[in-house]
Structure 1
Amino acid sequence: MNSNPSPLNSSRYEGCTLTGALSVTTEVRDAISIIHGPAGCTHHNFSLLHATHLSNDRLEVPRLLSTRLTENGIIFGGEDALEESLARAVSLAPASVFVLSTCIVETIGDDVAAICAKDRGVPVIPVPTAGFLGGVFETGVRNALSSVASLARPATETTLSANLVGEKNLEYGADENATEIERLLSRLGITINLRFVRGIETRDIGRLSSAAVNILREPALRPVGEDLDRRLGTPCVDSFPAGLTGTCLFLEEVGRICGIDATAAVEEERAHQAAMLSRFDDIAGSRVCFQSPHPMLRGDPGAVAICTECAEALDLTVDPDGAAIPLPYPAPVGTAGLRRMLHRWRVLIREKQRG
């Protein structure tokens, strides 16, 4: 755990571990997530998740319960409160229950795993989410993905399909990104098996092991990919495609893993990219200046490489006095993501020219 109070040496700006885990477990629609801790932790996260859903035209309400620990429970232990909340959750007939422990629960030492292990006629899965131990938002995502995957078992046979693992459920454009991956995979004759975890039910988790490949949202999820490979025997690609060249390399890597010659698919995608770029001939020769959208992201080599590649393809000049173009974060996914990015570039370039 980082004990240095300086903001520059603290990982806490990266977000709450509990929130990261809830962004995963609440996507199992017939499950209930129990937050073992004070009511405020549940209220804060319910508000965040609900507001995010509404902004993305999703009307479902997160299925959350709280053990509502008070001073008495914190002093004398909260295991009885967890037992009561589990009984209430089971009475609502969920297909599964996830128990997420808050920082205070880990501090007082409640044996959450032992309580969850009791037979209640429904799977009850503990998810470690105590951020004070050094975890951040991404830690919660990884822990939740591995915990949910514990409900899967090795498949007797696989299909020519892929799982999307660890989508950023709180970001705008998550569904558009999945659609782009689906389009790219179709060039190889590969379908989407499961979005793990987004908008699924508990029974769907049983299909996790039947895919030929797992496609991780980003390299930070490599530990999850390695865990799924070890437990279920499914190899992984460690990131969604990013950039013109990166998108073609993505097709080649997926093809290699699945035993498919990707040559034709790559040529088709390159032609598709050329047609996409031709729609932006009107900004060719313009001057641009790439800038970080946030000080902590300054100099991100991936974002710089993507922007530089697109600038070269469009014959743009990188100039300190050019139109200010924010480096993308997260990276735009596939060719469709680049098209949306370039539309924003066009607007900024024209504003600068009207200046």
Structure 2
Amino acid sequence: MSSNPSPSNSSRFEGCTLTGALSVLTEVRDAVCIIHGPAGCAHHNFSLLHATLLSNDRLDVPHLLSTRLTENDIIFGGEEALERTVARALSLSPAPASVFVLSTCIVETIGDDVAAVCAKARRVPVVSVPTAGFLGGVFETGVRNALSAVASLARPGTDITLSANLIGEKNLEYGVDENAAEIARLLGRLGIGVNLRFVRGIGTPDLGRLGSAALNVLREPALRPVGEELRGRFGTPFVDSFPTGLTGTCRFLEEVGRICGIDASAAVEEERAYQTAMLEGFADIAGSKVCFQPAHPALRADPDAKTVCAECAGALDLTVVPGGAGIPFPYPAPVGTAGLRRMLHRWRTLIREERRR
């Protein structure tokens, strides 16, 4: 686990370990999340999550409670405060179907036994999620720990269906639902449906379907430990990333077909024809001069984004020169052919602006 605080470490820009976990756990709609720590940790994350939901036209309010640790709790231990807050969560109406308890840096420092408090018998599962980042954990660490915590509530599936789970979608990014729709479209070319979005907009009972898919599709390679864990528990193979780029999207179809025992050749040919038609819609910018650059001065460009940009520039016969229209590398890299179309629309706007100067 890297503790490098350098600005080039993009996960530092997304938030702390606690924020990463909450981006997953607040998508279990019938659950309550308890932040075991000072009130400020809960206030900061509630504000961030609520603002993100509103910016995506979602009027949901995250179900968060705080143990609101005081100086006395920090000195003498906060387990009693946690017990009281768990009882409060269970008394809510409607009652939660599950409760997740997230630790904070101060709780890990004073040594509260959060796992022991959560392990007590109650009418609904109360799950401990380690989310203190002071020893080097970053946003991605919280995401992985949260996915593992939610998966602990699932049981092995009995009937495996020709379907796929989407694992670890980036719930705080713009276009998350568009990306899921693109994966569903690509899987549909192979006759494969989406079984479960793990975790986005689901309820605790939906977790019973987690082990019933023939395939898991991870959002990004950083989630491979989660993919390995789910494969160990349920025997489900996985593809380690959403597809990026023209050729990468076709490779995705081939890999999914191989894993599921499906001949993907027809689906790949259909997708290539679809991509050709999509590129023809941007013939008006063919031959333009462009200059790719990082989206933020402190961020290194995503290697996948560099590959995608170079590939699309070649397909459209764009000339990459220092004085060309400034085009930022996308972060993260666009997903599938639909993501490329959205990216190229942005390129067209920037190129036209440069031509008007």
Q: TM-score interval w.r.t. the shorter chain?
A: over 0.9
Q: Label 1:214 to 1:296 Cα distance change in 2 as closer, same or farther (>3 A).
A: farther
- Counterpart position of 1:166: 168
Q: Does the 8 Å contact 2:168/2:223 carry over to 1? A: yes
State how far apart, in whole Å, the 2-side matches of 1:238 and 1:145 are. 15
Shift of 1:167: 0.4
Secondary structure at the residue paired with 1:126? strand
1:105-128 deviations in Å (ceiling 9; x for gaps): 000000000110000110011100
CA offset digits 1:64-103 (Å, max 9, x no partner): 0000001000000000000000001111210000000000
Distance in 2 between residues matched to 1:68 and 1:2, nearest whole Å: 30
**Cα distance, 1:300 vs structure 2:** 3.1
Whether 1:75 and 2:75 are equivalent positions in the alignment is: yes
Cα RMSD over matched residues? 1.6
Q: Match for 2:148: what amino acid?
A: S
User: Alpha carbons of 1:6 and 1:303: their partners in 2 closer, same or farther (altered >3 Å)?
Assistant: closer
- Structure 2 match to 1:36: 36
Distance 2:3 2:60 in 1: 39
Alpha-carbon distance between aligned partners in 2 of 1:6 and 1:188, rounded to the nearest angstrom? 42
Unaligned runs of 5+ in 1: none
Pick from 130, 133, 157: which aligns with 2:159?
157
Q: Deviations over 1:249-305 (max 9, x none)?
A: 001111111111100000000000000000000011101111011244334321111
Residue 35 of structure 2 aligns to which amino acid in structure 1?
A: I
Partner SS state of residue 212, structure 1: strand
Distance 1:179 1:151, change over 3 A: same
Q: 1:229 to 1:3 in 2, by over 3 A?
A: closer
Instruction: Answer yes or no: is the 8 Å Cα contact 1:90–1:120 preserved in 2.
Output: no
Q: Aligned partners of 1:69, 1:180: CA distance in 2, in Å? A: 44
47-56 or 298-307, larger mean C-alpha shift: 298-307
Matched residues in 1 for 2:126 and 2:301: separation?
Answer: 43
Q: Secondary structure at the match of 2:60?
A: coil
Residue pairs, 1:30-69, within 5 angstroms: 30-69=30-69
- Residue identity opposite 1:105 in structure 2: V
- Hey, what's the Cα distance between the residues in 1 that align with 2:353 and 2:29? 44
Counterparts of 1:274 and 1:50 in 2: how far apart (Å)?
A: 40
Aligned residues: 355
Of 137, 148, 163, which residue of structure 2 is paired with 1:146? 148
Provide, for residues 134-190 of structure 1, a one-character-per-residue CA deviation record: whole Å limited to 9, x for no partner. 100110000000110001111122100000000000011000000111111100000
**Aligned pair in 2 of structure 1 residues 144, 342: CA closer, same or farther (>3 Å)?**
same
Contact 2:147/2:226 (8 A) holds in 1: yes
Q: Secondary structure at the match of 1:121?
A: coil
Structure 2 residue runs of 5 or longer lacking an equivalent are none
Identity %: 80
> Judging changes above 3 Å, is the alpha-carbon distance between structure 1 residues 9 and 333 closer, same or farther for their aligned structure 2 residues?
closer
Report how far residue 26 of structure 1 moved: 0.5
**8 Å CA contact retained: 1:242, 1:306:** yes
Structure 1 residue 15 displacement after superposition: 2.4
| Distance of 1:321 and 1:216 partners within structure 2 | 38
Partner residue in 2 for 1:94 = 96
Alpha-carbon distance between aligned partners in 2 of 1:55 and 1:235, rounded to the nearest angstrom: 35
Give the AA of the match of 1:16. Answer: C
- Take 1:295 and 1:43, find their aligned partners in 2: how far apart are those partners? 29
Letter in 1 for 2:150: V
TM-score (ref. length: structure 1): 0.97
Which residue does the alignment assign to 1:274?
A: 276
Aligned to 1:23: 23
Aligned ranges for residues 1-355 of structure 1 at < 5 Å?
12-13=12-13, 15-92=15-92, 93-355=95-357
CA contact (8 A) 1:2 1:10 kept: no
Deviation string 1:22-62 (CA, Å, 9 cap, x unpaired) is 00010000000000000111011111101110110111110
1:227-252 CA distances to partner (integer Å, 9 max, x unpaired)?
Answer: 11111111110100100000000011
- Post-superposition, which runs of at least 4 consecutive aligned residues in structure 1 deviate over 6 A? 1-11
